[in-house]
Amino acid sequence: MLDLTEYRLDNGLRVVLNEDHSAPLVAINLWYHVGSKNERPGRTGFAHLFEHMLFSGSAHVGNNEHFRYVQSVGGVLNGTTFFDRTNYFETLPSNYLALGLWLESDRMGFFLPALTQEKLDIQREVVKEERRQRYDNVPYGTAFERLLNLAYDPDYSYHWPTIGSMEDLGAASLDDVRDFFATWYRPDNCTLTLVGDFAPSEARELVQQYFGDIPAGGAFPKFDLQRQPLGGERREVFRSPIQLPRIYRLYHLPGMGAPEWIHADLLATILSGDKASRLEKALVLDKQIATDVAAYVLPTESAGMLMLQATAKENVPVGEVEAAIDAEIDRVAGSGVTEEELTRAKTRSEVEFAHQLENYDTRADVIGMMATYFGDATMTQRWLEPYQAATAAEIAATTRAHLGNGERVTIHFLPENE
């Protein structure tokens, strides 16, 4: 059982400690409970652009010096942004714990004095290149964006992807940066997780020393997302320079951690991932109409999503692939899954979770996620329990309720000349 100590500083910063001396390393991980869902239309992509800005220096750390401080002692670091959260993390030789806390606290408490228009302009261009590289210049690159556009109405802020639009990135101003920082980047909106080779008493002292005097913010802006039912299926055909047609499907679920979300996670493992999985067996091995299939749930807080995709082989109509997928979903909804399939899926969950906890950095990230989404880091110790308890009947029931209710989004990605 993972040994976790969870407490809060007076300013509201949630701190989680996991002492482990197997390697002379410490993972420092901060989850700020803000992401692209906190953006407003016209400023999409801002939370992620802001993440870039937070690497460009603070009052006592020069431009590009954050990276330099970490790398020059043998550390690794990064940050990521998603709908519901933004994380910043570094793994350092454990004797540099104070350095990491100094860097993270400086940008939490003293970021604005170092902000300049020039830094914003550079990072805006970098993020635009990121969008070109990962979305606009690669086959199927805009599929996720298109799915979200159909799956959520414009007033539900999962309507757009974290990367945002080129136009909105262009509109972001220094005032936006200041407002966003003041609203969201504060100790009472953050979980700081430390995993690794430290003495807890010393770690607590250092955390207090570096974060204790950063003030909490005032009230958070009112934030209420209510998703309206789709009222049926939403479909789109999109043509672009690709060679093989691909079908994308999205089903709505409750948010991460809900029983139905866990069932859907197990279902996704039963549907795809190895040769024994249902969709791979039916579409790739038996009928040989698809080159690849994938099914997965996303780790999202406000609403859940089960995603399916399959690439049709050359000269196979994508409708035939879609029909084969639906036949397999119907089969699960109607006849359920076998005990052996369920056992394999549960074992897979156990292994994957063990792999996530194996390294300090990914372990700290899981702990930070549990604390942020569920308000309780010890969820990490109990995370697998609902997986182990799930029954075949529950998998079938969730399949009927969330995949068989007609509420779904389907996109056919087709080559331009088809």
Partner 1 sequence: MTDRTTAPPPGPPRPYHFPHVTRKTLGNGLEVLIAENHAAPLASVRALVRSGADHDTAEVAGLASLTADLLDEGAGGRDGVGIAEELGLLGGSLGTGADWDASYISIDVLSRNAGAAMEIFADVVRRADLPAAALERVRSERLMELLQQRDEPAVIAAKRFSGLLYGTGAYGNSIGGNPESVARIAMEHVRGFYGQHYIPNGTAIIAAGDLDAAQFLATIESLFGDWPRGQEPPRPVVNPQRVEASRIYLIDRPTAVQSEIRIGHVGVARDTADYFPLSVMNALLGGVFNSRINLNLRERHGYTYGARSTFAFRRQPGPFVVSAPVRNEVTRESIEEVFAELRRIRTGDVEDRELADTKNYLMGVFPATVQSSGDIAGRLLDMELYGLPHDYFDRYRDNIAAVGKDDIAAVARKYIDPDRALIVIVGNAQQIREPLGSLGMPIHEMDIDGKVA
For 53, other C-beta atoms within 10 Å of its C-beta total 23
Identify residues 266-295 at the interface with partner 1 (CB under 8 A).
274-277, 281, 284-285, 288, 291-292
Residue 116 engages partner 1 in binding (rule: CB under 8 A): no
**Contact (Cβ atoms closer than 8 angstroms) between residue 26 and residue 194:** yes
Q: Which is nearer to partner 1, 283 or 303 (CB)?
A: 283
C-beta of 253: minimal distance to partner 1 in Å? 24
Out of 7, 8, 10, 125, the only residue in the binding site for partner 1 (CB under 8 A) is 125
Binder among 25, 283, 310, 342 for partner 1 (CB under 8 A): 25
CB 39 within 8 A of CB 179: no
* Residues facing residue 323 across a β-bridge: none
Near partner 1 by CB under 8 A, which window of 135-143, 298-306, 329-337, 368-376? 135-143
With CB under 8 A as the rule, give the number of residues binding partner 1: 82
User: Does the footprint of partner 1 cover residue 68 (CB under 8 A)?
Assistant: yes
Nearer to partner 1, 197 or 301 (CB): 197
Does 137 bind partner 1 (CB under 8 A)? Our answer is: yes
Q: Which is nearer to partner 1, 56 or 302 (by Cβ)?
A: 56
Residue 405 binds partner 1, judged by CB under 8 A: no
Q: Are strands 408-415 and 233-240 parallel, antiparallel or unpaired?
A: parallel
| Rounded least distance, CB 183 to partner 1, Å | 23
Residue 242 binding partner 1, by CB under 8 A: yes
Give the chain's length: 418
Convert residues 88-107 into a mask of x (bound to partner 1 by CB under 8 A) and - (unbound): ---x-xxxxxxx--xx-xx-
Q: What are phi and psi of 295, to 5 degrees?
A: -140, 135
Residue 200 binds to partner 1 (criterion: CB under 8 A) = no
Q: Which is nearer to partner 1, 59 or 237 (CB)?
A: 59
Amino acid at 41: P
Q: Does 23 bind partner 1 (CB under 8 A)?
A: yes
DSSP state of 13: -
67 binds partner 1 (CB under 8 A): yes
Instruction: Tell me the sheet residues that pair with 91.
Output: 27, 76
Residues 338-397 that bind partner 1 (CB under 8 A): 340, 343-344, 347-348, 350-351, 354-355, 357-361
Q: Give yes or no for residue 110 binding partner 1 (CB under 8 A).
A: yes
Stretch that binds partner 1, among 29-37, 295-303, 337-345, 377-385 (CB under 8 A): 337-345
Contacts 24+ apart (CB under 8 A), 312-321: 312/244, 312/245, 312/246, 312/247, 313/244, 313/288, 313/289, 314/243, 314/244, 316/245, 316/289, 316/290, 317/245, 318/245, 318/246, 318/247, 318/412, 318/414, 320/289, 321/245, 321/247, 321/283, 321/289, 321/290
Using the rule CB under 8 A, is 175 a contact of partner 1? no
The distance of closest approach from Cβ of residue 407 to partner 1 in the complex, given in angstroms and rounded to an integer, is 31
Are 262 and 390 spatial neighbours (Cβ–Cβ below 8 Å)? yes
Q: CB of residue 395 vs partner 1: minimum separation in angstroms?
A: 16
CA distances from 274 to 26, 148, 291, 292, 352 (A): 35, 27, 13, 11, 14
The smaller minimum CB distance to partner 1, of residues 151 and 207, is found at 207
Q: Within 10 A of 20 (CB to CB), how many other CB atoms are there?
A: 16
> How many angstroms separate the CA atoms of 387 and 391, rounded?
9
Q: Which stretch binds partner 1 (CB under 8 A): 86-94, 149-157, 218-226, 251-259?
A: 86-94
DSSP assignment letter at 210: H
Does 138 bind partner 1 (CB under 8 A)? Our answer is yes
Interatomic CA distance for residues 84 and 300, integer angstroms: 7
User: Which residue, 110 or 374, has its beta carbon nearer to partner 1?
Assistant: 110
Nearest in space to 235 (alpha carbons), one of 413, 403, 404, 410: 410
